[in-house]
Amino acid sequence: MSMPAPETLEREKDKLFLTDAELIRRLGVPEKHMRKILPGLEANYGFPRKQRLFGDRRYWPAVKAWLANAMDSRI
């Protein structure tokens, strides 16, 4: 996956619905690893699913809330 130009990243920083590529970039997790675990996170741990209505993108605030909850429950 190629990295977008800095102007593109700045323009898109407030997007609410993200493609998996955008999500992976925001999370900072290696793409190879994240693409492998996403299906299991959805199926087994309630990770926010893609929304067909919004072009098969994930709602970023729901992802952030899921991550916060997942990290709180492990500490």
pLDDT tens for each residue of 38-50 = 999 999 999 999 9
* pLDDT value of residue 6: 74
Question: How many Å from the N-terminal Cα to the C-terminal Cα in the chain?
Answer: 32
H-assigned helices in the chain: 6-12, 20-27, 31-45, 60-74
What is the chain's Cα-based Rg? 13
Task: Using the predicted structure, report yes or no on whether residue 1 has a pLDDT greater than 90.
Answer: no
pTM, rounded to two decimals = 0.81
pLDDT digits (tens, 9 = 90+) for 12-26: 778 999 999 999 999
